[in-house]
Amino acid sequence: MFIWSYWTAIGSKPAGPSKAFSLPSAEKELYEREEQAETQQEILKRVARNLPVYTRTAGGAIRYCDHCQLIKPDRCHHCSTCEMCVLKMDHHCPWVNNCVGFSNYKYFILFLAYASLYCVVICATVIKYFIKFWTKQLPDTHAKFHILFLFFVATLFFISILSLLSYHLWLVGKNRTTIEAFRAPVFTNGPDKSGFSLGFRRNVAEVFGSEAKYWIFPVFSSLGDGHSFVTRSVHIDPEQANSILQQNGKSQSPADGEAHPVRTADDSKEKTDGGQIVSVTMESEP
């Protein structure tokens, strides 16, 4: 299980945004010709109206990647090492020489979990010889130094990996990425670290899936398509509520590229500061 999860974390290709987030040729030509940032933002806003994009830059602008030349989906970031935009990017991990994001975040967590368990097994099988070493009951051979080295290395790796695993499990429970933990995502109504949190059970289901029987295996079972995410509260025009909820309720499997409804959304409206807030709740299908 350790080797399986490790190689899936390494071998899974980072998922990038679909062509729907690229600028149409006419708008792209206008954007590249325009020199004023304000006018460029107007062009991006026109295109973003048809996309399920709710997050903004710290200055309130549409998030656009000049390298990939596309509007960034929510939770998507550009990786300078992979030289591409990665959906729901968490971080670039040198341990797996890969970007950890929407396509392999579950595999990465399972890799940490099975690595921790592997270290426990090593320590448990070596500890009796380790005790004999300290009580001078072990035969005086070169092997005793191997046992000492093995026990200390397994213990140190267990402590470091367990701390990293605990941190990422905390992130899963909060429905945050490492990037969002350090820098809160900015919505149209301001920054909100818990903007994507839907409650502990639903947050776990976002990463591991709605069927518990697949949780322990490094097979893809995460919900959604990585391009759009249900949020706690999104400021939108009431006339656009139904269409945006439909877009949030669609999922695309990385394997076949076809859209499937995997979750529904219930919305409730309430007045706040003279505006409309649509509270969206995710419900996973059985």
Nearest to 105 by CA among 63, 75, 67: 75
Ranking 6-20, 42-56, 259-273 by mean pLDDT, the lowest is 259-273
In a domain, 25, yes or no: yes
In a domain, 119, yes or no: yes
Q: For residue 7, what pLDDT is reported?
A: 96
Q: Residues of the chain with pLDDT > 90: what percent?
A: 58
Q: For residue 252, what pLDDT is reported?
A: 42
In a domain, 135, yes or no: yes
Distances (CA, A) of 226 to 19, 46, 241, 256, 276: 14, 22, 20, 14, 26
Q: What is the dihedral of CA 70, 72, 76, 81, to 10 degrees?
A: 40
Catalytic residue, chosen from 76, 79, 85, 93, is 93
Per residue in 88-111, pLDDT tens?
A: 999 999 989 999 999 999 999 999
In a domain, 265, yes or no: no
In a domain, 286, yes or no: no
In a domain, 272, yes or no: no
Q: For residue 72, what pLDDT is reported?
A: 95
Nearest to 22 by CA among 55, 43, 47, 5: 47
Please state the domain count of the chain. Answer: 1
In a domain, 187, yes or no: yes
Global pTM?
0.78
- Decide if pLDDT at 284 tops 60: no
For 241, the token pair is 């509520």
Per residue in 165-187, pLDDT tens?
A: 999 999 999 999 999 999 999 99
The answer to whether residue 93 is catalytic is yes
In a domain, 82, yes or no: yes
Domain that holds residue 69: 1-251
**Residue 273 DSSP class:** T
Q: Residues of the chain with pLDDT > 70: what percent?
A: 81
